[in-house]
Amino acid sequence: MADVIDIQRRLIELDVEHRDLDAVINMLTLDGHHDQLQLRRLKKRKLQLKDHITLLKMQLVPDVPA
C-alpha cells in the first residue's frame, strides 16, 4: 500500500514539473528572443517527464489476466 502512495505522490510531483515546463516553453516561444538549444532541451525534458508519468500510471493499474 505504501508503494501506491509513493507512486501517487511522485506522479503529482512530475505532473507539476511537466506543467511548469509547459508554461516556460510557452513563455519562451511567445517572447521571440529564445535560445533554440534551450528550447529543445526543455521540450526533451518535458517528453521525458511525460514518459515517466506514463510508466508510473501503468504501475498503478493492476494486471488483468487474459
Give the integer Cα–Cα distance in Å for 24 and 9: 23
What is the pLDDT at residue 35?
87
Residue appearing with cell numbers 506522479:
11
What is the pLDDT at residue 66?
62
- In this structure, how many other beta carbons lie within 10 angstroms of the beta carbon of residue 49? 20
Q: What stretch of H or E contains 37?
A: helix 36-60
* Average pLDDT, integer, range 4-16: 96
Give the integer Cα–Cα distance in Å for 21 and 19: 5
Q: Is the pLDDT of residue 2 over 80?
A: no
Cell of 34: 529564445
**Spans of all domains in the chain:** 2-58
pLDDT single digits (tens) 15-64: 999 999 999 999 999 988 778 999 999 999 999 999 999 999 999 887 77
Cell of 2: 505504501
